[in-house]
Amino acid sequence: MCILASLLCPTCGIINDHGIRICDSIKQICCEQAKSSRNYNNSDLPTHCPDFVWPPIHPLPLYSQLCEECVLKYRRDEEVINPICPNLRGKRLNEEEEVEEWTETSDKYNNWVTRLSETPHRHITLRIPCCNLCKKPTFFIRENDEYKDVDNTTFGIEGIELEFNSTLWKWLCLTDGKQALATRLSTGFINKPCPTCVENESVRRGKVYQFLDTCNQREA
């Protein structure tokens, strides 16, 4: 399931209000794009996670993980993929003091500067369904083992769509997906009838048809 929570850096103590950790199904799509198409856009991204919980459970879960600047300083083994990384060629002295040619891939962290500069531009929008008839969203209550409150149940709005902008989607593809990515957040609404109102409307229309079948046009 996709989880949106606050992030706390144990090194610098900075708290980022929003961090997104994607579910396995979206992570799989990220891996396929990172290995094949290298076209990091969200045109093929499924925008609906059936187990996503919103509003967030209180108190807000606070994930402890290094922020991206501290990762660059203290943990350069953090995986950042660069699938279009070029090869470097040159000459050097080996252990026998002989000149030899060598070929290596360029540093896989050479896109860290870009990643840090694009951090403020990563953005996710939550599209919340709101019925245009009853003016209410549809809620759910179910058990959940990963993201739960004291009653071992979760409460949230049904059918929320996750809309990733291209910058956030690119870094979801380029990173290993083991940790959450800091992101900006905004919310919007999807105005469409809820299932309850659709069913009630169908019942009312059925009663009208039954009434018209049992009376003449003047009575109707």
Residues 155-214 pLDDT 10s = 888 888 899 998 998 888 888 778 899 999 999 888 888 888 888 888 888 888 888 778
Asked, for residue 171, whether it belongs to a domain, the answer is yes
DSSP 168: H
Q: Give the three-class secondary structure for 214.
A: coil
pTM, to two decimals: 0.72
When pLDDT is cut at 50, 70 and 90, the band that residue 25 belongs to is: confident
Hey, which residues does 138 pair with through a beta bridge? none
| pLDDT of 183 | 94
Asked, for residue 104, whether it belongs to a domain, the answer is no
User: Before 193, cis peptide (omega within 30)?
Assistant: no
Cβ-contact 114, 175 below 8 angstroms: no
Domain that holds residue 22: 3-84+110-213
- Domain count for the chain, please give it: 1
Q: What is the mean pLDDT of the chain?
A: 79
**Cα four-point dihedral sign 97, 99, 105, 110:** positive
| pLDDT of 220 | 59
| pLDDT of 85 | 55
When pLDDT is cut at 50, 70 and 90, the band that residue 20 belongs to is: very high
Rounded CA separation 199/187 (Å): 28
| pLDDT of 134 | 87
| pLDDT of 185 | 93
| pLDDT of 125 | 92
Asked, for residue 101, whether it belongs to a domain, the answer is no
Asked, for residue 95, whether it belongs to a domain, the answer is no
Asked, for residue 142, whether it belongs to a domain, the answer is yes
Cβ-contact 70, 12 below 8 angstroms: yes
Asked, for residue 8, whether it belongs to a domain, the answer is yes
Asked, for residue 90, whether it belongs to a domain, the answer is no
Whether 107 shows a pLDDT value over 60: the answer reads no
| pLDDT of 108 | 57
When pLDDT is cut at 50, 70 and 90, the band that residue 58 belongs to is: low
| pLDDT of 94 | 74
Chain centre distance of CA 72: 23
In tens, the pLDDT along 63-103 reads 899 888 888 887 666 667 665 555 556 666 777 878 777 66
> Is the pLDDT higher at 34 or at 12?
12
195: burial class by Cβ within 10 Å (0-12, 13-18, 19+)?
exposed
> Is the pLDDT higher at 3 or at 142?
3
Asked, for residue 103, whether it belongs to a domain, the answer is no
